[in-house]
């Protein structure tokens, strides 16, 4: 068990480290001088040099890399070239939109997909199964941002139930803020739910063929106890794996969906930063997202051991 956890932790650390080298070196090859970007074309050579010294731009590559890593460890992502405020503050401002959105979408997708998957597995080959898996097949093919547009048309333009976009901020109260996140969350969740329900169904089908399920049924366990307790728990490993991967896709998905709904989240921040060539912001957000993806996958790996006691000893 300890060996398993240690190995996973090490892998996660190495992954983040290698990712940081990739991000750092990619932004290193960008043509252009950050000091020039910050001060504009009319800056005097003296001012440019002063800023370069202040930012440490003339230091050797390795020194700058380790400086950067050291700052990242204390959540110092540097200062935005264009906003001239710490990237950390920019991120903090935006994360309160993106993170609730991703979590809402993940929760929604799980709440829909797992019951549907179990339900179809139990009724394999019957009408309900065919219909729900047909719907899932289509759901997988629907791009979330297009689905978002359709939702906006129906619920915001046509029925006028929710705003078509924008975000009032959490300061405006929890309900108006949540209301602005409902459509984006649904748009993100449904295509993911389609994938997850297919995975849940096939994992359940594998388990439902096992002898212990027949035994449980034969000794008269209620149907739902067999399904939700005996079967689901054993089918959970592939489901958890997909959930971990989905979180990565959801985070990436929020970046696009935020653009559909004009939500001031990390995605909007990154796109503005790209157009303004504010690379330090891009660097910070990408590193943060990569770290989150790695951490979530680490948690998934660790949760295997919780779900499946056999893994605690065997690995």
Distance CA 46, CA 189 (A): 53
The DSSP string of 146-205 is: HHHHHHIIIIIIIS--S-SS----GGG-HHHHHHHHHHHHHHHHHHHHHHHHHHHHHHHH
Contact region for another protein (CB under 8 A) — 59-67, 109-117, 226-234, 270-278? 270-278
DSSP annotation of 75: T
Task: With CA atoms as reference, report the closest residue to 261 among 192, 176, 182, 193.
Answer: 182
CB under 8 A: which stretch of 167-175, 219-227, 233-241, 248-256 binds another protein? 248-256
The rounded distance, in Å, linking the Cα atoms of 72 and 65 is 10
Report the first-to-last Cα separation within the chain, whole angstroms: 7
Q: Is 236 in the site for another protein (CB under 8 A)?
A: no
Show Cβ contacts of residue 245 under 8 Å, excluding neighbours closer than 6 positions. 297
Q: Does 157 bind another protein (CB under 8 A)?
A: yes
Q: Residue 289 interacts with another protein (CB under 8 A)? A: yes
- Binding residues for another protein, rule CB under 8 A, total 52
Distances (CA, A) of 135 to 124, 131, 144, 188: 15, 6, 15, 16
Q: Quick one: which of 91, 216, 243, 255 contacts another protein (CB under 8 A)?
A: 255
Q: Which of 118, 240, 263, 273 binds another protein (CB under 8 A)?
A: 273
Q: Does 199 bind another protein (CB under 8 A)?
A: no
Q: Is 141 in the site for another protein (CB under 8 A)?
A: yes
Among 55, 142, 237, 311, binds another protein (CB under 8 A): 142
Among 239, 293, 300, 304, binds another protein (CB under 8 A): 293
Pick between residue 236 and residue 293 the one whose CB is nearest to another protein. 293
**Is position 43 an interface residue for another protein (rule: CB under 8 A)?**
no
Closest CA to 207 of 70, 106, 308: 308
**Residues within the interface to another protein (CB under 8 A):** 11, 14-16, 18-19, 22-23, 26-27, 29-30, 137-138, 140-146, 149-150, 152-153, 157, 202, 205-206, 209, 248-249, 251-253, 255-256, 259-260, 270-271, 273-274, 277, 279, 282, 286, 289-290, 293-294, 297
């Amino acid at each position: 068990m300890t060996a398993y956890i240690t190995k996973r932790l090490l892998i996660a650390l190495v992954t983040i480290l290698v990712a940081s080298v990739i991000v750092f070196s990619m932004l290193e090859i960008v043509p252009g001088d950050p000091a020039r970007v910050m001060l504009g074309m009319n800056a005097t050579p003296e001012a440019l040099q002063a800023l370069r010294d202040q930012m440490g731009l003339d230091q050797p590559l390795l020194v700058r890399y380790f400086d950067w890593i050291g700052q990242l460890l204390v959540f110092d992502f540097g200062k935005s070239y264009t906003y001239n405020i710490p990237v950390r503050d920019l991120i903090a401002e935006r994360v309160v939109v993106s993170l609730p959105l991703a979590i809402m979408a993940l929760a929604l997708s799980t709440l829909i997909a797992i019951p549907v998957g179990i339900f179809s597995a139990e009724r394999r080959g019957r009408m309900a199964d065919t219909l729900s898996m047909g719907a899932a097949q289509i759901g997988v093919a629907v791009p979330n941002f297009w689905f978002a547009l359709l939702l906006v048309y129906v619920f915001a333009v046509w029925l006028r139930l929710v705003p078509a976009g924008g975000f009032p901020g959490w300061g405006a109260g929890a309900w108006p803020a949540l209301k602005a996140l409902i459509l984006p969350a649904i748009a993100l969740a449904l295509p993911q739910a389609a994938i997850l329900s297919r995975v849940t169904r096939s994992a359940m089908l594998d388990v439902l063929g096992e002898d212990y399920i027949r035994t449980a049924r034969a000794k008269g366990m209620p149907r739902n106890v067999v399904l939700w307790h005996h079967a689901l728990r054993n089918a959970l490993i592939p489901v958890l794996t997909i959930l971990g991967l989905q979180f990565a896709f959801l985070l990436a998905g929020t970046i696009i969906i935020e653009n559909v709904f004009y939500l001031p989240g990390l995605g909007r921040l990154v796109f503005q930063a790209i157009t303004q060539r504010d690379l330090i912001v891009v660097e910070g957000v990408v590193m943060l997202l990569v770290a989150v993806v790695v951490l979530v996958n680490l948690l998934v790996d660790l949760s295997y051991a919780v779900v499946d006691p056999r893994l605690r000893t065997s690995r």
